[in-house]
Structure formats: C-alpha cells, structure tokens
Structure 1
C-alpha cells in the first residue's frame, strides 16, 4: 500500500476504540510521527490491540480545550510531520473535528479522512430499522441540564413518521454517562409536563448499549420494559436510545418481530 504524503490523518476508531481501527488506519499509525487521541466525545475502550507496543510511545491525549480553545497550538505541531488524530466513531460526525480540518486546510495542510463505523449508522443496522426512516438525531442531556429540545425533535420526527436516534449525554471528566433507563425517565417526565402525547406509554423504543463489543446489549419494546431491562443490568457506556415512529414499514415490522419479539400491531 502506497500512502500519499499527508500532513494530518483524521482516523475514525469505530465503535470499540483502538481495537476496531481498520488495517488502513493501522498502516498510517505505524508511519505517523505523533498520534493524538481525542478523549472527550465518547468513552474509549481500555483494551489494548495487538499493535499497541508499536504505537504507544507516540500517543498524546487531546481534551476539548486542546481542540476548541487551543487549536492553534495543535496546528503548530503539524509542521513537517505526519500527524494522526484518532477519533471515536467516524471522524466528522462531531462538528469540532470538522472545524479542525477546515482550519488546517486554510493553513495549507493536506488532510485525509479514514472512515469507520458510527453509532449513527450502527443504530439502524443493529435494530433492523431502515436508515431511510430516521429523522434528525438529538442528544438527551443529564437531568440537571434538562431541556425540552429532545422532546421537540422527537415530536418533529414523529410528525413525518420518522424514528429518532437519541444520543445520551456523557461527562468524561467525572466518568459519568446517561443510561437508557434514566433517559426514558427524563423523556417521560417531559411528557408529563408538556402533555402533547409524543412520548407515550405505547411508544416502542429500542435501547442500545456497547454496540460492537462482545457484551453488547439491545432491548426493544415498551418504554417500561426497556427501562427495566437496563435498570437491573447496570450496563456500562456507551449507550443510545431509539424512539420509534408510530407506524412502520412492513420490513421493519418483520425485523422487530423476529429479532426482538416486538409486536407492532398493538
């Protein structure tokens, strides 16, 4: 494989941290002078891949402040070097990373993107729901930052018969994450306050945890069923929630029935 001279490679780690990096990414990591690891948009598996010893001396963690407030210092390190920036999921799903690419390009640096899986696409794949049937993605914040916004996005999506992928808030500084059962509780409380029949008892939801890992967990059905299945298992991050539309394509109905035992005819 001939790798063209590039200043900075934005490398997606996929769903499972370094262990899910592609072979293409591995070859780039071996030739990189510095490997930065973005550490704030998602939890990264602590498991070490087989090539760990070949790259560990080149690894440097990057915080949100490093990329958003001190990006000029980051860009200064690119000069004359091959830089790899490891990012959870697919690199430019988060806007922060795209802003770094734009800033680097403006300075004349050559950038290259190495794709990988993201929960944005994996949620559709693992659930059996059509990717064409999803509307806008939204993040549900922790209860102390409660907002109507996720409720309104679910409402907008349901108005066009679209499913909603709800990403769940994380706080990597304090090692905290919003769980599926707590997110369901927050959305249920919003329904009780707003009373616009969006997040109903009959709503079908799908809870997702640790997708791509050996111990991934999926629960689908009523919000009470899914919340209970997550509550007693005490599953770790990352987690996400799908709030389904009120009607389904016939292929989705079959997938939900066969894969998860969900009856959509109620």
Structure 2
C-alpha cells in the first residue's frame, strides 16, 4: 500500500495542514516520532483530531527496526508524523529510499522547520551556510568533532551565517540550553565573549524568544526556553543589522 511522512511543524498539533489531517484520517495505522526536538502538542488532542490511535516511535524504531513499518506498509496505509519537516533529517530520507526499493508507494506532506523559521531572526535565509549540530560533550567523550568548528570557520570566511542546532535527548527529557551551546563554542575558540550572536527559542510558538546580544551576556543570562538554537552571524547586510538592533 503506502507510507506517508507528515511534518508536524514546529510547535504543536495546530501547525498541521488540512491536507495532513485528511491523509492521517484515511490511514490504517499512525505512528509519531518525538525524539528530535521538544514538541508542545498534546498526543490525545491529535488522536481526537484525526480519529485514530497514534503509536509513538523511539529513535531505534526508525533507525534500527524500520523493517517492521515497511512490512505493514506493504498491505496498509501507514502514516508517520515527523517533527518539523519530514525530510530535514537524513533518517527520514532513508526511510523513503528503502520504501521505494520495496515498491511501497510514498508520500511526503511538508511543514515548517527551523530551517525556514530562522528568517524570523531578521537574517536573510539565502545568506546561511551549512548548519552544525552541537552534541552533548559526554556523547563525544568531551571532545567535539573538529568538523563543527571547521564549518563555522568556513562560513565566517565566506561571510555566511551559521545555524547551530542544540542537542536533544528527548527520552531523558534532556535539552541543551543556549548557555551550554555557547560554552562549547567558546571552548573551540570559534567565538569569543565579545562577539554578538542570536539566540532563538520556541520557534513557531505564539511567543518565540529572539535575543541578539554579546556572548558574554548570554552565558550569564542563561536562556532556559526550549527548544533553542544559536545563530552566529556572518557579514551583515544593513537591513539585517537594522532588524537585529530592534529585537
């Protein structure tokens, strides 16, 4: 039959499109993954909206045991709700590829992701270079991959902005804060306390928090809102600078 990946958007079930809701209603079985970020929706409300029970997937269910989903998709209409946009994470692209190999019909219903929401910071989206993901130090035995700092340095040389995604371990309710992310960046000497960066929290909500300030100040204020990202600005256009100064 089919496998449909549906983007949940950035904040809660109200972000779903009419098309997404209709697709879920027509399905035989619905799954959801909530391990890539903090979702503020209500699972019971989402079940009521689509009239279906929803089964939550853990990381290993998609990364190691996805064969079970494919087996069901051969005879049923399967929907998997994915945080943000379905194809930002490579894991979900791999799901589509494997489904196609198995001759399972696929469908993608897109939604907003942090990669589109960063425009709310006032920075021009087309001026962003490759983004980086900041893992918790214990995941890498205290030594971060050099590639993270190399990407940031290369973006700086080219005058491009860098989006820094902060680590999430949803199963343990553990979310990297802006302060923790900045301390990691400071340890790699890619920024210093006199640099100005953007901290962007709760994107997609009715009350997002966007702060443009010196690194030294941000490490003292310790923004606790989650999920958060850090943006290291490159060379600013005058309209970007003007926007940032009004935040």
TM > 0.5 fold call:
yes
In the alignment, the residues of structure 2 paired with residue 201 and residue 243 of structure 1 have an alpha-carbon distance, to the nearest angstrom, of 12
Deviations 1:110-158 (A, max 9, x none): 11110100001111x1101011111110011113234143222211110
Q: 1:3 is matched with which residue?
A: none
Change in 2 beyond 3 A, CA 1:150/1:53: same
In the alignment, the residues of structure 1 paired with residue 117 and residue 49 of structure 2 have an alpha-carbon distance, to the nearest angstrom, of 30
Q: Equivalent residues in 2 for 1:117-136 (5 A)?
A: 117-123=112-118, 125-136=119-130
Preserved contact between residue 31 and residue 54 of structure 2 (Cα < 8 Å): yes
In the alignment, the residues of structure 2 paired with residue 39 and residue 56 of structure 1 have an alpha-carbon distance, to the nearest angstrom, of 20
Deviation at 1:79, TM superposition (A): 2.1
Structure 1: gaps (5+ residues)? 1-5, 192-197, 261-266
3-state SS of paired residue (2:171): coil
Select the structure with the greater relative contact order (CA < 8 A; seq sep ≥ 6): 2
Preserved contact between residue 206 and residue 226 of structure 1 (Cα < 8 Å): no
Are 2:97 and 1:105 equivalent residues in the alignment?
no
Which of residues 153, 156, 165 is equivalent to 1:167? 165
Are 2:244 and 1:256 equivalent residues in the alignment?
yes
Deviations 1:30-58 (A, max 9, x none): 11111110122222224358654244642
Instruction: Indicate the larger mover: 139-148 or 70-79.
Output: 139-148
Are 2:234 and 1:239 equivalent residues in the alignment?
no
Deviation at 1:97, TM superposition (A): 0.5
Q: Equivalent residues in 2 for 1:134-149 (5 A)?
A: 134-144=128-138, 145=140, 146-147=143-144, 148-149=146-147
The root-mean-square deviation of aligned C-alpha atoms, in Å, is 1.8
Q: Please, what TM-score do these two structures have when normalized by structure 1?
A: 0.85
Structure 2: gaps (5+ residues)? none
Deviation at 1:201, TM superposition (A): 2.8
